[in-house]
């Protein structure tokens, strides 16, 4: 299965992991990265890296993110275009959290056309009530970015990252009021992206994302990928 998938993604394919906050995009993106050996590009992580560096982009992005709103398109488009141009993306990449608006999808399409990369969207479908419960239990390692879930995927030792022993943290924007705002933002700005991608003929895999373990969902994604 792995070789078959690698062979198919060998011709520089960008995988777009698409779904609402808490749908498991980050978890699946990391599993796919390990499987396919192509970079995982999370716009949320890139923006958070700028926030920790305290640079101008980070200060600006932080004010949008803390209130659950989207960072302006131009900022994110430039980050992604520059990242996809790096040599480690020559064999493809996994986009997590991008595109999130129709304009971002147009910008990505133009970048793919210019670079000759193909695309496949993986849409993780979930029930919002399950998403809210799932996000409430989410913890992240501030050091390596690894995600845990107190119910579905707990660390071996409570509150501690398995990989590097750091104390796990709750992300500022994982608090319940902000999660509701993020789900509303998703409905308003991001769900129309899926309609746009469908109407514009992007390749899309529909995957049920809330009734199985991360490894079972990964198998569903792989099954869909080989058929594309």
Residues of this chain that interact with ligand ADP (CB under 6 A) are 21-22, 25, 43-44, 47, 64-65, 68-71, 76, 97-98, 100, 104, 173, 182
CB of 7 to ligand ADP, least distance (A): 29
Catalytic residue among 13, 48, 100, 220: 100
Catalytic residue among 13, 30, 134, 138: 138
Q: Is 25 a catalytic residue?
A: yes
Residue number with the shortest CB distance to ligand ADP? Answer: 44
CB of 66 or CB of 114, closer to ligand ADP:
66
CB of 163 to ligand ADP, least distance (A): 19
Catalytic residue among 13, 30, 134, 182: 182
Q: Is 138 a catalytic residue?
A: yes
CB of 10 to ligand ADP, least distance (A): 26
CB of 38 or CB of 105, closer to ligand ADP:
105
Q: Is 175 a catalytic residue?
A: no
Q: Is 182 a catalytic residue?
A: yes
CB of 159 to ligand ADP, least distance (A): 21
Q: Is 220 a catalytic residue?
A: no
In this structure, are residues 22 and 28 in contact, taking their beta carbons and an 8 Å threshold?
no
| Paired tokens of 158 | 């409570």
CB of 21 or CB of 92, closer to ligand ADP:
21
CB of 32 or CB of 70, closer to ligand ADP:
70
Nearest to 123 by CA among 84, 96, 105: 96
Max CA separation in the chain (angstroms): 47
CB of 169 to ligand ADP, least distance (A): 14
CB of 104 or CB of 222, closer to ligand ADP:
104
Question: SS3 for the chain, per residue?
Answer: CHHHHHHHHCCCEEEEEECCCCCCHHHHHHHHHHHHCCCEEEHHHHHHHHHHHCCHHHHHHHHHHHCCCCCCHHHHHHHHHHHHCCHHHCCEEEEECCCCCHHHHHHHHHHHHHHCCEEEEEEEECCHHHHHHHHHCEEECCCCCCEEECCCECCCCCCECCCCCCECECCHHHCHHHHHHHHHHHHHHHHHHHHHHHHCCCCEEEEECCCCCHHHHHHHHHHHHHCC
Residues carrying an active site annotation: 25, 100, 138, 171, 182
């Amino acid at each position: 299965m792995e070789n078959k998938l690698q062979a198919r993604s060998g011709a520089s394919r960008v995988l777009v992991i698409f779904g609402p906050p808490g749908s498991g995009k980050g978890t699946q993106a990391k599993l796919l990265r390990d499987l396919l050996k192509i970079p995982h590009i999370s716009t949320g992580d890139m923006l958070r890296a700028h926030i920790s560096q305290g640079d101008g982009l980070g200060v600006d992005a932080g004010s949008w993110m803390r209130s659950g709103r989207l960072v302006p398109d131009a900022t994110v488009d430039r980050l992604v275009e520059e990242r996809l141009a790096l040599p480690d993306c020559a064999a493809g990449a996994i986009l997590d959290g991008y595109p999130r608006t129709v304009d971002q999808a147009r910008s990505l399409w133009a970048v793919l056309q210019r670079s000759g990369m193909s695309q496949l969207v993986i849409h993780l479908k979930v029930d919002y009530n399950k998403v809210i419960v799932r996000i409430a239990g989410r913890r992240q390692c501030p050091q390596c970015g690894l995600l845990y879930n107190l119910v579905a995927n707990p660390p071996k030792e409570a509150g501690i990252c398995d990989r590097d022993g750091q104390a796990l943290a709750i992300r500022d924007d994982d608090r319940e009021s902000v999660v509701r705002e993020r789900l509303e933002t998703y409905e308003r700005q991001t769900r129309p992206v899926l309609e746009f991608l469908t109407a514009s003929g992007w390749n899309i895999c529909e995957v049920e994302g809330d009734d199985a373990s991360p490894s079972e969902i990964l198998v569903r994604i792989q099954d869909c990928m080989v058929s594309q």
